Structure 1
Amino acid sequence: MLNKKILVCVTGGIAVYKSVALVSKLSQAGAEVKVIMTASAMEFVQPLAFQVMSRNDVYFDTFDEKDSRVIAHIDLADWADLVIVAPATANIIGKIANGIADDMVTSTLLATTSDVWIAPAMNVHMYENRSVVRNIQQLHDDGFSFIEPSEGFLACGYVGKGRLEEPEKIVELVKQRFLGSTADLPLLGKKIVVTAGPTRERIDPVRYISNFSSGKMGYAMAEVAAELGADTVLISGPVDLPKPSGVKLVQVESAAEMLESVLSYYDDASMVIKSAAVADYRPKEQHAQKMKKKDGDSTIELERTTDILKTLGDKKEKQILVGFAAETNDAIGYGKSKLTNKNLDYIIVNDVTDPGGGFGNDTNVVTLLTRKGNQYPFESMQKNELAKVLLKTIIAEEWPNSNDR
């Protein structure tokens, strides 16, 4: 979905809050998103929320021309690859069905030649009203597509059909729209969290303890997860690498910050891939001022950091947990021990002294160990290619029918 242009038209209903999440997830997936709001929508959510999530100006006034070189509603109508009306109220559905253009949303919809998807959200009785049913049928006849509302508890207190479809499902449909068959997207609908890079444990404002991890393997895993359709979050320590496309990047520094960030995404994650090289120890005291050089030796007392992988293993419920083990000897033996002791489903082990792998290299040599006792050795290959092989091997074990959708 990289650089696909999606125009989201937001109309006035309590489900507007879901549209904020929708815009955020579309942006994370690599799309360029712009938003038009009706006056009623702004009664529920301020335009600033959509501006932050889309990183674009929000439009709501037909006569507010942000660029004097173009006519805004015509320019937006021509710009979009896809238009989504979410939430779509009974009122906006009636206006579109009857060709009314009395605000920024309806004027733009009347001018666009792009596909328009309508995602209704309203009270169940309103949704079943004959005039609304008639207007929906008219829009079907006119070539509009609908994202059917789901059933459940509605804000008005009723239980029935009328809930705006969940943002994750809408994003999945958009991906299918642009990418075609989902046969090559086995992680579609899955949320994958990847950690990458080193952590830094501060000694004072100018010194820290760290390691040689470049983050390249973790970044490759995140990029491939997104390419395979996953909603991907990359939690990264300090590295000098570009942000992978279609990935939400969260930057942290210390082991404590990485733990906090991972836990904040853990509950609804389908899989967590912990490839970060987290510091095992940190200075017991962090000095507020630069430590001055003294005669003789100096000692820094260290304390253990929290074992993030063990913590995730202890809290694991439905998540698939994948660890990495960078060793300098007996990599397989240590890997098997960590697999059991930390309650992992998979562990990827490598000997960092191997000239074909290790920190900083563009290639890696690893062995994938599984809880089921399987062992998959992989010879030296580019880290991006290795990431594909590793993820597809795990997918084949966990979701063998994922390509049959």
Structure 2
Amino acid sequence: MAKPKVVLGVSGGIAAYKACELLRRLTESGHDVRVVPTDSALHFVGAATWSALSGNPVSSEVWESVHEVPHVRIGQAADLVVVAPATADMLAKAAHGLADDLLTNTLLTARCPVVFAPAMHTEMWEHPATQENVATLRRRGAVVIEPAVGRLTGVDTGKGRLPDPAEIFEVCRRILARGVTVPDLAGRHVVVSAGGTREPLDPVRYLGNRSSGKQGYALAKAAAARGARVTLVEANTGIPDPAGVDVVHVGTAVQLREAVLKAAADADAVVMAAAVADFRPAVYAAGKIKKKDDGGAPTVELVRNPDILAELSADRALPGQVVVGFAAETDDVLANGRAKLRRKGCDLLVVNEVGERKTFGSEENEAVVLAADGAETPVPYGPKEALAETVWDLVLPRLRAAT
């Protein structure tokens, strides 16, 4: 079989050196990569490096090998174009259709998925002009990965750092695997919760659960690769932030509720994959709870936590907002799931059986997705990524029906 053809565009930022790692991952995983740098990018990494790593000729000019019409052919033949790093200048040129070099010409002629991985200083990323350019590109179906937060050039720190090349590669892999030209969640904002809340008993103890957050992260990554703007509200996972996703870190159920409701205010869909504690201690002990001298155990009074899923379902922030819940059950799985779906009022409920050695912490999952209209979609045992894709496949027609 022919290798998938990927164009790696590199624009002129200090993060250009990190694109070498992305190029290595693409070539070693069986992709035919053509690197198209800008002239500015060649000040950071030379053409000889790109050519040696890719095994293909490298040029930034439309005037070389003119008989091959490279300014048209490269984009026409590509299965994917990824620009990493994408500077503010490159985003502006792409949004306005400028074509003054080989890379911008390639972007205009490409009819395949296009991914931009921005890298710039925080002030440049947050500038209204850049934000409008990003919105324009996303509206047209491009995937613009949210930049990471961290150390920038010099002593500056903030949002604008190039996402980790491994994460960019993962986005590209998912897009190529789907085989679609335009990401189907482009222009949508989705909110995903992940992990397990912890309810403090005292300064050293808490009530918690076994949720790892891996299923929620799989949902967030899948949505980002499908073009959505993703807000991930994570509770106590310890998992690195995924590329292309805005992450809000919380600890307790009350904090998670506040963050989810805030993010859901302009969201097209909300997926509550987090394991939210049903109860919390009525009283928080300011000091560590000590053992009793008489050998007895202390009594802990519990109170109910807010029912976030039911609240989201009953009071939709936007008309047509799709709400998805998760139900972790240990017995009578489907019967309990159907009852919970009716009680919560959500559109879809992902029901799975859990236990000490089932689902929690695993890379795999098995579930049945119940719908409010009575439909049931079984998802066989397999990677959590597969379940994530199924969930979004079921969300999409409901989003389209509401618009």
Q: Hey, what does 2:142 align to over in structure 1?
A: 175
- Is 2:189 the counterpart of 1:191? yes
Q: Deviations over 1:190-224 (max 9, x none)?
A: 11100011000001110000011111111111111
Query: Where do 5+ consecutive residues of structure 1 fail to align?
Result: 9-30, 32-70, 98-108, 117-161
1:115 equivalent in alignment to 2:104: yes
Report the AA paired with residue 104 of structure 2.
D
Q: Distance in 1 between matches of 2:9 and 2:90?
A: 17
Q: Give, as a single letter, the amino acid of the residue that structure 1 aligns with 2:267.
A: A
* Structure 1 pair 85–203 and aligned structure 2 pair: CA distance change class (3 A): same
Verify: 1:366 aligned to 2:336, yes or no. no
| Whole-angstrom distance in 1 between the partners of 2:339 and 2:312 | 16
What residue in structure 2 maps to residue 341 of structure 1? Answer: 343
Aligned to 1:119: none
Residue deviations 1:204-248 (CA, integer Å, cap 9, x gap): 110000011111111111111111111111110001322222111
Whole-angstrom distance in 1 between the partners of 2:338 and 2:11: 47
**Deviation by residue 1:69-100 (Cα, 9 ceiling, x = unmatched):** xx999769x99656548999xxxx9xxx9xxx
2:110 corresponds to: none
Report the TM-score when normalising by structure 2. Answer: 0.59
1:329 is matched with 331
Give the paired residue count: 280
Alignment of 1:69-80 (within 5 A): none
Report 1:168-247 matches (<5 A).
168-173=135-140, 175=142, 183-247=181-245
Q: TM-score, normalised by structure 1?
A: 0.59
- 1:276 and 2:274 correspond: yes
Q: For 1:266, which of 249, 260, 264 is the aligned residue?
A: 264
User: Is the 1:7–1:83 Cα contact (8 Å) retained in structure 2?
Assistant: no
What is the aligned partner in structure 1 of residue 307 from structure 2?
307
2:255 counterpart of 1:257: yes
RMSD between superposed Cα atoms in Å: 4.2
| Residues in 2 aligned to 1:214 and 1:334: alpha-carbon distance in whole angstroms | 23
Cα gap change, 1:205 to 1:176, in 2 (>3 Å)? closer
In structure 2, C-alpha distance between the alignment counterparts of 1:7 and 1:292, rounded to whole Å: 60
Alpha-carbon shift at residue 255 of structure 1 (Å)? 0.4
Structure whose CA Rg is larger: 1
- Distance (whole Å) between structure 2 residues aligned to residue 348 and residue 4 of structure 1: 39
When residues 7 and 293 of structure 1 are mapped into structure 2, their CA distance, relative to the original with a 3 A threshold, is farther
**Per-residue deviation, 1:353:** 4.2
Opposite residue 183 of structure 2, the aligned amino acid is L
Q: What is the CA–CA distance in structure 2 between the aligned matches of 1:391 and 1:385, rounded to whole Å?
A: 10
Deviation at 1:369, TM superposition (A): 0.6
Give the deviation of 1:165 after TM superposition: 4.7
CA distance in 1, matches of 2:195, 2:394: 23
Distance in 2 (alpha carbons) for counterparts of 1:231 and 1:190 = 6
What one-letter code is carried by the residue in structure 2 that aligns with 1:170? Answer: L
Identity %: 33
CA distance in 1, matches of 2:143, 2:223: 16
Letter of the structure 2 residue corresponding to residue 341 of structure 1 = R
Relative to structure 1, the CA distance from residue 6 to residue 209 in structure 2 (aligned partners, 3 Å threshold; closer, same or farther) is farther
User: Partners of 1:200 and 1:311 in 2: how far apart?
Assistant: 20
> Which segments of structure 1 move beyond 4 Å, counting only runs of 4 or more?
3-8, 71-76, 78-83, 85-88, 164-167, 176-182
8 Å contact kept, 1:176–1:182: no
| 2:289 counterpart SS class | coil
Per-residue CA deviations over 1:136-167 (Å, capped at 9, x if unaligned) read: xxxxxxxxxxxxxxxxxxxxxxxxxx9x9575
- Give, in whole Å, the separation in 1 of the partners of 2:91 and 2:218: 34
Deviations 1:314-340 (A, max 9, x none): 211431000000011122222222222
Is the 1:197–1:215 Cα contact (8 Å) retained in structure 2?
yes
Amino acid at match of 2:205: R
| TM-fit CA distance, 1:341 | 2.0
- Counterpart CA distance in 2 for 1:375 and 1:335 is 11
Q: Secondary structure at the match of 1:183?
A: coil
Give the partner amino acid of 2:378.
P
Alpha carbons of 1:310 and 1:7: their partners in 2 closer, same or farther (altered >3 Å)? Answer: farther
Aligned to 1:47: none
Residues 287-318 of structure 1: CA deviation (Å, up to 9, x unaligned): 12212221312101111111111111121143
